[in-house]
Structure 1
Amino acid sequence: MKYDSQLIELKNLLPSAKSILIALPSNCDMDRFAAGLALFLSFNAQGKEVSVVCDDTIHVAQSHLFGVNHVQKNIPQTQGGNFVISLEGVAVPNSSSPQGGQAPALEKMDYVVEGNNLNLVFYILPGQTFQPSRIVPHYQGSGFNLIFTIGAANLNHLGNIYLQNQGAFSGVHVVNIDIQAANTSFGQTNVVDSAASSVAEIMTDVVGALGLPFDADIASNLLAGIFEATSNLTSQNVSADTHLAVANCLRIGGRKPEVLQNAIPASGGFDLSSLISPKPTVEAFTAPPISSEPQPSPEERPSGEGLAAESIEPEPGWLTPKVFKGGSVG
């Protein structure tokens, strides 16, 4: 497969991954939606616990995609992740520290169980002040074993899915699949190919390379993405790999989207009308009127009838009897 070298680590992680998140970018087009939902259907068929999220509204043109009813606007709550209490305003940056900073007033910390309560104890150095400006509880990580981002050049392109859940992306293996040259390769696994015609084209290869389930519904979604991104296979970035992806999807039973006539660019071909000579105009032939009077048969026709009506004058003496006159011979 084309992207085997990028997928080596992911292949090792997939068997133990039970919970997977697929994140789509804001302003998501048909290609990205189709690719993300195809991956969702494949993981779902494999028995994985998988969620697909997008900070965007699903458009009517995308509503025919298989699995579109599973798209959520927020990351679902899952079991797992680390509970963190952040004490703001008590630390200072320190590049020499392994943690990147330190709390000058803090000597050490511990916890004490008191009944049903867990008390955190902060030991303060003598003469120092330890007064957090704010205490913020939150989760680090989300309980997801893998996060796939589809068609996002960076994490901020996920909109509120990332901006309001940055901790959910911390400590999780992120798989970044995209075609944009501006992609920042922010994932631990990056499958970024700016030469590909569409994200759906890449996903066709990725699903096969990972050995994931691949049925007719998945193939139909991928075909919808490829055809939309390439204007029905007429764009300049269509390659042999594009046609191979289409062939693989059709072979599995995928259905091609309806091709609209106005989807084909008007300037996509040559105008040959000027090279075609106009056909000469042929005047219509008018048959002469046919007489309805009955015509006599040859047996009934008098002798000589039908000859030319022109009169012929006989030579002089032609009617006079001929008399032979002898003459001298020799």
Structure 2
Amino acid sequence: MKYDGQIAELKNLLPAAKNILIALPAGADTDRLSAALSLFLVFEAQGKQVSIVCEDTMTVAQSHLFGVDHVQKTLPQTEGGNLTLTLEGVASPDGTVPALEKLDWYAENSNLNLVFHVLAGQTFQPAKIVPRYQGSGFDLVFVIGAANLDSLGSIYRQNAQIYSGVHIVNIDNQGNTGFGTTNVVDTNAASVSEVVTFLLQDLGMVLDGDIASNLLAGIFASTDNLVSPKVNADTYMAVANCLRVGGKKPGAMPGQQIAGTIIGGMSGPVPDLSALIPPPVVSSPQPSPEERPAAEGVVSETPEPEWLTPKIFKGTSLG
């Protein structure tokens, strides 16, 4: 198992997790999107509530990926999470509240009342009361291919509280800040999709043809069809594992330009064949029979007058 050392806690949390968020950074490429969608399909097949978000608009070039229509640009409304009421301007720098003696609460009908007991001679006047939810009901948050949380763009900046107090799984193949509670960061991997392929296997997840096809699309896109210098034995192993369960290698997309040709088994740029094309033959106009001089021996198309006179041929009988 390749990532067992990093995912021990995740293995314990995942079975009970019911609501999962998968977040992509701004400007996510095909590799990162493919990896995220593969996780989405795996968790959805297990009956979990899964949301996948990215601030980008999906492009036509990404439309062949399975599950791409589930990507949202904003976080969904969720239930649950801890409610925090922030009373601004009442605490001192040392973390104490000088005017407050104690805090009580009691229920009254359908209401919950909070009672702030103020010390004699003190004033307790919050400048503002701000309610916010911590965690917003997500049990796990998977962040795919992001250097840090700020890389998520607006889906982090506008919802920073969601990422507080929740278990974050940071998956990447490039060096990042290690911001996750669980960090699966493999800088030797040729793609994020390769990392996710082995991660899913380590978690005991079952891959189907659609999931494997997404992973193959990500691996091939990130490695320029397996010719990148980062390709290694694990890359080929990941490809083999995906093909084994029915994954399809990505083909040329409609409208894609062919950058080269194959001649005798060797690939390369399209050769310039213009030198091999013979020049066009330009024929000069020929004069009509009437225009040709008689010396050329051209028979006139106008018959002589005596040719039109009836002729009588007399024969002799042989005795």
TM-score, normalization by structure 2: 0.77
Q: Is the 8 A contact 2:194 2:238 kept in 1?
A: yes
Matched residue, 2:21? 21
Q: Is the 8 A contact 1:6 1:191 kept in 2?
A: yes
Matched residue, 1:78? 78
- Select the structure of larger CA radius of gyration: 1
- Deviation of 1:270 after TM superposition, in Å, equals 11
Matched residue, 1:92? 92
Q: Is the 8 A contact 2:260 2:267 kept in 1?
A: no
Amino acid at match of 1:50: V
- Deviation of 1:263 after TM superposition, in Å, equals 8.3
1:129 and 1:160 map into 2 onto residues whose CA distance is: 39
Q: Percent identity?
A: 63
Matched residue, 2:259? 262
Alignment of 1:209 with 2:202, yes or no, is yes
Amino acid at match of 1:105: A
Matched residue, 1:250? 243
Q: Would you say how many aligned residue pairs link Structure 1 and Structure 2?
A: 260
Q: Is the 8 A contact 1:85 1:138 kept in 2?
A: yes
2:182 and 2:27 map into 1 onto residues whose CA distance is: 24
Q: Is the 8 A contact 1:84 1:137 kept in 2?
A: yes
- Deviation of 1:39 after TM superposition, in Å, equals 0.4
Structure 1 residue ranges without an equivalent (≥5)? 95-100, 272-330
- Deviation of 1:80 after TM superposition, in Å, equals 1.2
Alignment of 1:37 with 2:41, yes or no, is no
2:161 to 144, 167, 173: 167
- Which runs of structure 2 are paired with 1:53-68 in the superposition (5 Å)? 53-68=53-68
Q: Is the 8 A contact 1:232 1:263 kept in 2?
A: no
- Deviation of 1:116 after TM superposition, in Å, equals 2.9
CA RMSD in angstroms comes to 1.9
Amino acid at match of 2:31: D
- Deviation of 1:161 after TM superposition, in Å, equals 1.4
Q: Could you report, residue by residue, the CA deviation over 1:157-191 in whole angstroms, capped at 9, with x for unpaired residues?
A: 1112111112111221111001121x111111100
2:12 and 2:224 map into 1 onto residues whose CA distance is: 37
Matched residue, 1:278? none
- Deviation of 1:126 after TM superposition, in Å, equals 2.1
Matched residue, 1:186? 179
State the secondary structure of the residue aligned to 1:153. coil
TM-score, normalization by structure 1: 0.75
2:219 to 226, 229, 247: 226
State the secondary structure of the residue aligned to 1:123. strand
Structure 2 residue ranges without an equivalent (≥5)? 269-319
Matched residue, 1:308? none
Matched residue, 1:123? 117
Matched residue, 2:306? none
2:96 and 2:239 map into 1 onto residues whose CA distance is: 56
- Deviation of 1:261 after TM superposition, in Å, equals 4.7
1:110 to 104, 115, 119: 104
Question: CA 1:70–1:270 in 2, change beyond 3 Å: closer, same or farther?
Answer: closer
Q: Could you report, residue by residue, the CA deviation over 1:197-252 in whole angstroms, capped at 9, with x for unpaired residues?
A: 11000000011111112000000101111111111111111111111111111111
- Deviation of 1:34 after TM superposition, in Å, equals 0.3
- Deviation of 1:262 after TM superposition, in Å, equals 2.6
2:191 and 2:100 map into 1 onto residues whose CA distance is: 53
Q: Is the 8 A contact 1:141 1:170 kept in 2?
A: yes
Question: CA 1:29–1:270 in 2, change beyond 3 Å: closer, same or farther?
Answer: closer
